[in-house]
């Protein structure tokens, strides 16, 4: 008689594993340096879409590219357990989002301009002014993030920081406590909490009547929140938005400084600073030890990051020669989903243009019980009678086509939406004849040419944010290097709106393609007259120009007509 089976453990649950980032961050590792590198890579992808002026994300102790713009994270938040729990990951991402938005919205400019106006000779007044301005900008940045999914991460950061700050609050009333309560109310994702009257339900401390101290000042502070949430985003210029916020902060500070005149700022207020501890030498020693540990860890993390970067700069440098002016070029996978629907009319017209250049291929289905008699299967007649076949003709392209899309700054705005429709329709049309079709785009990010593959996976199409200068030569050669080793008669279709303005000469890329027997054609879309002349000089008769979507199928057919093989 078999006994009742015991409960089987199918999974382990652990605290901190219920964060938002668990929905998408799958690249995790139990090894410390690899996990820190993975998280750093994930945060860098997020900052890519916040703004072009956002610096590089690094851990404290890592080599910095630019001290002014780099976003340095304290690894102490996530050290100790790997893979990093998702609740800690969310807080780290929230920190990065806030620092990135600070750069994108020029927060320091708004703080500095207001500080210059109201700075006094008293150190304690200036200290409180700086505290107020820092928090005001923090609240503005939270309201900006609340307009997207990024607000989920800044909310995690806000709650974590508030709890940490609460541990070190001084006796009420204090400015630090006031502005942190303001932060909780004004930064709330609902966008409505600031309209509520301050009460014990929002925040309380045992033994103190906080309403007596903070109720009226919070009414003053919350008076500008609606304008930060609703009016400021309507201003298109980032400079004008800064000026607008300076006016709002000025309006509040003129009254707030009198209300908090006799309040304590926080425990670091110049009027409360105590003498250094007798054990200060011990603390300094431990700090130096911690810096050394961070430095060693940073080197290992950088090594792991380098292993994952697909850098083609040296390969292209060897191809073009030592004297060539090669720009740094890397392959990335930083993509976003393409929301635009497929233009089916354009796809069909492109399909018709391609069909006349496709080859017919006979496909036989043999061993059938009816159909056309198959002479190869007559010997099966006395066995099972499956001696018939069915013949079907399919159109196919012998060339493996790669679409190379220019995604540089000149194609930003409405023009990029048209380009997305073009490469989406082109891919669908070409893919009907050859399933090996691929899409790449190239742009400039932080002084590097980045090549990104946009080939659809699982039915999802992708896009990127157009930015930077045009390094067409490096992009074409990089695309050629990314071709599969056994690609059949590769054919690159280059979609651009202008000539190369960065890096090596395009003629070198054309010569390399000829050497490797890669057919290269260029489709100029929305080009100015000067760009048409420049493209004609670069590509000779291997380029056609299109002004609008209506002309595209006809001009695309002309481009194919000049191709030796497909």
pLDDT at residue 307 is higher than 70: no
pLDDT at residue number 197: 86
Confidence (pLDDT) at 17 = 54
Residue 339 has what pLDDT?
84
Predicted local distance difference test score (pLDDT) of residue 425? 93
Average pLDDT over residues 476-503: 87
Whether 424 and 513 share a structural domain:
yes
Structural domain that includes position 54: 14-104+285-306
Residue 385 located in a structural domain: yes
Mean pLDDT for the chain overall: 83
Residue 543 belongs to a domain? yes
Residues 245 and 224 in one domain: yes
pLDDT at position 241: 94
Domain membership of residue 542 (yes or no) is yes
Residues 194 and 112 in one domain: yes
* 315 lies in some domain: no
The per-residue pLDDT for range 364-373, each reduced to its tens digit, is 788 888 888 8
Closest by CA position to 238, among listed 102, 71, 114, 115: 102
Q: Are residues 466 and 540 in the same domain?
A: yes
d(CA 39, CA 429): 38
3 domain-assigned? no
pLDDT band at 246 (very low <50, low <70, confident <90, very high): very high
- State residue 288's pLDDT score: 44
DSSP codes of every residue in 511-544: HHHHHTT-EEEEEEES--HHHHHHHHHHHTTSEE
Mean pLDDT of 491-501: 91
Judge if 249 and 188 occupy the same domain. yes
pLDDT of amino acid 207: 58
Residue 4 CB partners (closer than 8 Å, separation 6+): none
Last residue in a domain, options 240, 267, 294: 267
User: Do 263 and 376 sit in the same domain of this protein?
Assistant: no
Residue 394 confidence (pLDDT):
73
The pLDDT score that the predictor gives to residue 38 is: 87
Indicate whether 1 pLDDT > 60: no
pLDDT of 424 reads 94
Q: Minimal CA–CA distance to 139: which of 221, 210, 23?
A: 221
pLDDT band at 2 (very low <50, low <70, confident <90, very high): very low
Pair 150, 198 in one domain: yes
For residues 20 and 123, membership in a common domain is answered with no
Residues 417 and 549 in one domain: yes
CATH number at residue 423: 3.40.50.410
Could you tell me if 110 and 217 lie in one domain?
A: yes
Higher pLDDT, 529 or 359: 529
Do residues 413 and 541 both lie within one domain?
Answer: yes
pLDDT of 566 > 70? The answer is no
Tell whether 490 and 536 lie within a shared domain.
Answer: yes
Residue 323 is assigned to a structural domain of this protein: no
**Number of structural domains the chain divides into:** 4
Does the structure show a pLDDT above 50 at 275?
no
Using a CB cutoff of 8 Å and minimum separation of 24, what contacts does 313-319 make?
Answer: 315/481, 316/474, 316/477, 316/478, 316/481, 319/477, 319/512
Is there a domain that residue 321 lies in? no
Q: What is the pLDDT of residue 427?
A: 93
Asked if residue 319 is part of any domain, the answer here is no
Q: If you average pLDDT over residues 17-34, what whole number do you get?
A: 81
In the structure encoding, which two tokens stand for residue 11, read together? 């999974």
């Amino acid at each position: 008689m078999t006994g009742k089976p015991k409960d089987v453990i199918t999974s382990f649950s652990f605290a901190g594993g219920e964060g938002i980032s668990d929905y998408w961050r799958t690249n995790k590792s139990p090894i410390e340096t690899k996990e820190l590198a993975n998280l750093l890579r994930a945060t860098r992808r997020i900052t890519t879409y916040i703004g072009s002026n956002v610096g590089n994300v690094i851990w404290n102790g890592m080599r910095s590219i630019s001290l002014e713009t780099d976003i340095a994270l304290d690894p102490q938040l996530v050290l100790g357990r790997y893979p990093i729990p998702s609740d800690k990951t969310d807080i780290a991402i929230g920190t990065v989002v806030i620092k990135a938005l600070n750069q994108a919205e020029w927060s320091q400019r708004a703080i500095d301009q207001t500080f210059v106006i109201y700075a006094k000779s008293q150190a304690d007044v200036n200290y409180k002014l700086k505290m107020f301005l820092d928090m005001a900008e923090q609240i503005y940045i939270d309201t900006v993030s609340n307009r997207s999914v990024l607000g989920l991460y800044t909310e995690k950061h806000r709650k974590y920081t508030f709890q940490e700050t609460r541990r070190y609050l001084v006796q009420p009333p204090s400015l630090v406590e006031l502005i942190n309560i303001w932060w909780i109310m004004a930064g709330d994702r609902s966008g409505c909490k600031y309209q509520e009257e301050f009460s014990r339900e929002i925040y309380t401390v045992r033994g103190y009547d906080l309403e007596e101290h903070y109720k009226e000042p919070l009414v003053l502070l919350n008076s500008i929140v609606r304008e930060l949430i609703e009016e400021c985003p309507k201003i298109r210029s980032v400079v004008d938005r800064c000026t607008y916020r300076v006016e709002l902060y000025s309006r509040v500070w003129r009254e707030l400084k009198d209300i908090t005149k006799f309040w304590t700022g926080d425990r670091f207020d110049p009027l409360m600073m105590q003498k250094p501890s007798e054990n200060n030498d011990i603390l300094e020693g431990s700090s130096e030890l911690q810096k050394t540990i961070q430095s060693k860890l940073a080197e290992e993390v950088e090594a792991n990051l380098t292993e994952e970067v697909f850098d083609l700069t040296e390969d292209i440098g060897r191809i073009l020669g030592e004297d060539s002016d090669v720009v740094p070029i890397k392959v990335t996978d930083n993509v976003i989903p393409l929301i635009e629907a497929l233009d089916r009319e354009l796809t069909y017209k492109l399909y018709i243009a391609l069909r006349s250049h496709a080859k017919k291929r006979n496909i036989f289905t043999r061993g059938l019980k009816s159909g056309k008699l198959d002479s190869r299967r007559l010997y099966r007649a006395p066995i099972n009678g499956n001696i018939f076949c069915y013949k079907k003709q399919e159109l196919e392209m012998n060339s493996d086509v790669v679409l190379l899309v220019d995604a540089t700054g000149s194609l930003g705005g409405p023009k990029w939406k048209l380009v997305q429709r073009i490469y989406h329709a082109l891919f669908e049309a070409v893919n009907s004849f050859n399933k090996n079709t691929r899409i790449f785009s190239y742009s400039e990010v932080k002084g590097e040419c980045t090549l990104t593959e946009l080939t659809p996976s699982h039915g999802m199409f992708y896009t990127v944010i157009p930015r930077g200068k045009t390094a067409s030569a490096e992009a074409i050669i990089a695309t050629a290097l990314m071709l599969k080793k056994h690609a059949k008669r590769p054919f690159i279709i280059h979609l651009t709106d202008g000539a190369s303005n960065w890096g090596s000469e395009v003629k070198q890329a054309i010569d390399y393609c000829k050497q490797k027997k890669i057919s290269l054609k260029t489709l100029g879309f929305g080009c100015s007259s000067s760009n048409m002349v420049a493209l004609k000089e670069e590509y000779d008769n291997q380029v056609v120009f299109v002004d609008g979507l209506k002309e595209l199928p006809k001009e695309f057919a002309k481009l194919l007509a000049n191709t030796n093989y497909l």
